[in-house]
Amino acid sequence: MLQDGTMRDFLVLGVESSCDDTAAAVVLSRRDGTKAILSNVTLAQYDRHAAFGGVVPEIAARAHVERIDGIIAHAIETSGHTYEDLDAIAATAGPGLIGGVMVGLTAAKAVALAHSKPLVPVNHLEGHALSARMTEDAAFPYLLLLISGGHTQLIEVSGVGAYRRLGTTIDDAAGEAFDKSAKLLGLGQPGGPTIEAAAKEGRADRFAFPKPLARREGCDFSLSGMKTALRLEAEAISSPTARDVADLAASFQAAIAAHLADRTVRAMELVETTGAARTLVVAGGVAANGAIRSKLEALTRDRGWRLVVPPAKYCTDNGAMIAWAGIERLRVGLAPSFEEALAFAPRARWPLAEPLAGREHGGGKKGPKA
Ligand code: KG4
Ligand code: ZN
């Protein structure tokens, strides 16, 4: 374990391969608190999976194998540093598609061994949870709304390694709902941006959508009913025009935004009772959605909360957030020994935090990841 973490600079390589992005980045965190993302390389695989209507684990793993070495080398080269300059290597060790996680973690182990550098296995969700601290001024504690293709969770973040999960999806993840619904409407993938674009021309009040889990206590999400409601509305129109598709997209997007906001308010109420700082951090690819952002802006403003949304390229899967999570762990002495890190086995499932009252749900198109 590296000692005296608070009093030094850290230059860390981050490696991410848990889903369909092969990514690597070099991040510098200086002892004076300043930080710099020196390189951030991401290669998506949409082209490889497009024909199958979703991410195919085998194809993803093979694409990671083909690309990972080149992506890591590119991240190092463009950072202006060499492997020898690195203080450590951080890599996603789960949760995610096991084949992909294995590829990235093994590549990171090889770099660590070849250059005798410390290795930090990182929980992908911790990467998302801490990313706002890399790009913004976000002090602990805060409430995190993580909305991506694989995860939809509300987490109270009190410190590095100190997480309390307040809610999670009981079925689909938010991004997954967008992707499946876009397919249903004949729009392109990824579905979030195509639905958002179609919705711009549409009326959000034309179709009524359900309010999932309205009468159930807690902050859990349920998003698969939205997709079903959309399908039923779409099927009721004999030959949908562009206007119909726009109205369907706008109504669907508004319903998702309303559900996310509703759950987030419940979590805010919970956090307010503990007197914790009133900051809401949003991460994950779905955070790019303008309608969802406006909704969250309005509700944080109304309740006197601060809203923090990292730039889109750090909201979606990226290597920089993994490097940053590694840095955060190194600073507080929470990184494992070299031997422990080398022996660390990739994990398909790896909950960041235990659920509030012992409840456990699956969810997400990549299986129950967390
Ligand atoms: O975080 P991310 O890059 O990858 C993981 O799933 O981990 O998130 C990708 C998801 C996709 O489902 C995509 O449709 C969604 O984020 N997304 C959006 C938007 N941009 C990306 N969803 C809604 N509106 C958007 N503008
Ligand atoms: Zn992610």
- The pLDDT score that the predictor gives to residue 55 is 82
Task: Quickly list DSSP for 172-224.
Answer: --HHHHHHHHHHHTT--SSHHHHHHHHHTTS-TTSS----TTTTS-SS-B--H
Q: Can you tell me the mean pLDDT for 236-263?
A: 97
Name the pairing type of β-strands 10-16 and 88-94: parallel
> Ligand 1: residues within 6 Å at CB?
19, 148-150, 175, 178-179, 190-193, 196, 284-286, 288-289, 316-317
Q: Can you tell me the mean pLDDT for 257-280?
A: 93
The residue contributing the CA closest to ligand 1 atom 12 is 175
**Mutate-to-test residue for ligand 1 from 40, 128, 148, highest number of ligand atoms within 8 A of CB:** 148
Which residues, in sequence order, are bridge partners of residue 44?
21
- The pLDDT score that the predictor gives to residue 353 is 82
| Ligand minimally distant from the alpha carbon of residue 19 | 1
- The pLDDT score that the predictor gives to residue 370 is 32
Which residue in this structure is represented by tokens 């195919």? 56
- The pLDDT score that the predictor gives to residue 56 is 85
Which residues, in sequence order, are bridge partners of residue 41?
24
Share of the chain above pLDDT 70, in %: 94
Q: Which helix (H) or strand (E) holds 10?
A: strand 10-16
| Ligand minimally distant from the alpha carbon of residue 123 | 2
Assess whether the previous peptide bond of 95 is cis (omega < 30° from 0): yes
Which residue in this structure is represented by tokens 């179709």? 207
Q: Can you tell me the mean pLDDT for 318-331?
A: 98
- The pLDDT score that the predictor gives to residue 199 is 98
The rounded Å distance from CA 7 to ligand 1 centre is 37
What gap in Å lies between CA 74 and CA 319, rounded to an integer?
A: 12
The separation between CA 31 and the C-alpha centre of its own chain, rounded to angstroms, equals: 27
Q: Tokens in use for 291?
A: 């309608």
Share of the chain above pLDDT 90, in %: 84
- The pLDDT score that the predictor gives to residue 70 is 97
- The pLDDT score that the predictor gives to residue 92 is 98
Residue 4: band (very low, low, confident or very high) from pLDDT cuts 50, 70, 90 = low
354 has a pLDDT exceeding 90: no
Q: Can you tell me the mean pLDDT for 354-364?
A: 48
**Mutate-to-test residue for ligand 1 from 125, 178, 180, 322, highest number of ligand atoms within 8 A of CB:** 178
Residues in the chain: 370
- The pLDDT score that the predictor gives to residue 359 is 41
Mean pLDDT computed over every residue of the chain: 92
Which residue in this structure is represented by tokens 């250059």? 115
Q: Can you tell me the mean pLDDT for 89-97?
A: 96
Q: Tokens in use for 118?
A: 């410390």
What gap in Å lies between CA 283 and CA 135, rounded to an integer?
A: 12
The number of the ligand 1 atom at minimal distance from the alpha carbon of 290 is: 26
Q: Can you tell me the mean pLDDT for 273-297?
A: 93
Q: Can you tell me the mean pLDDT for 35-55?
A: 87
1 has a pLDDT exceeding 80: no
- pTM over cut 0.85: yes
The residue contributing the CA closest to ligand 1 atom 16 is 285
- The pLDDT score that the predictor gives to residue 361 is 41
**Mutate-to-test residue for ligand 1 from 316, 318, 369, highest number of ligand atoms within 8 A of CB:** 316
What end-to-end distance do the CA atoms of the chain give, in Å?
Answer: 27
Report residues near ion ligand 2: CB below 5 Å: 148, 317
- The pLDDT score that the predictor gives to residue 5 is 61
The number of the ligand 1 atom at minimal distance from the alpha carbon of 173 is: 12
The upper half-sphere exposure of residue 29, i.e. CA atoms within 13 Å in the direction of its Cβ, equals: 26
**Interior/surface letters 19-58, b for 16+ CB within 10 angstroms, e for the rest:** bbbbbbbbbbbeeeeebebbbbbbbbbeebbeeeebbbbe
**Interior/surface letters 351-363, b for 16+ CB within 10 angstroms, e for the rest:** bbbebbeeeebeb
Lowest-confidence segment of 36-40, 51-55, 181-185, 357-361 by average pLDDT: 357-361
Tell me: the pLDDT tens digits for 205-215?
999 999 999 99
- The pLDDT score that the predictor gives to residue 47 is 82
Q: Are the C-beta atoms of residues 138 and 336 closer than 8 Å to each other?
A: no
300 has a pLDDT exceeding 50: yes
The number of the ligand 1 atom at minimal distance from the alpha carbon of 150 is: 6
What gap in Å lies between CA 57 and CA 83, rounded to an integer?
A: 30
Q: Are the C-beta atoms of residues 96 and 60 closer than 8 Å to each other?
A: no
Q: Tokens in use for 83?
A: 């492997």
- The pLDDT score that the predictor gives to residue 355 is 64
- The pLDDT score that the predictor gives to residue 40 is 98
Domains in the chain: ranges and CATH: 10-132+315-350 (3.30.420.40), 140-309 (3.30.420.40)
Q: Tokens in use for 42?
A: 């991401």
The rounded Å distance from CA 316 to ligand 1 centre is 7
The rounded Å distance from CA 204 to ligand 2 centre is 28
| Ligand minimally distant from the alpha carbon of residue 127 | 2
Which residue in this structure is represented by tokens 């369909």? 20
What gap in Å lies between CA 123 and CA 352, rounded to an integer?
A: 7
Assess whether the previous peptide bond of 141 is cis (omega < 30° from 0): yes
Which residues, in sequence order, are bridge partners of residue 308?
281
- The pLDDT score that the predictor gives to residue 358 is 41
Lowest-confidence segment of 229-233, 308-312, 341-345, 351-355 by average pLDDT: 351-355
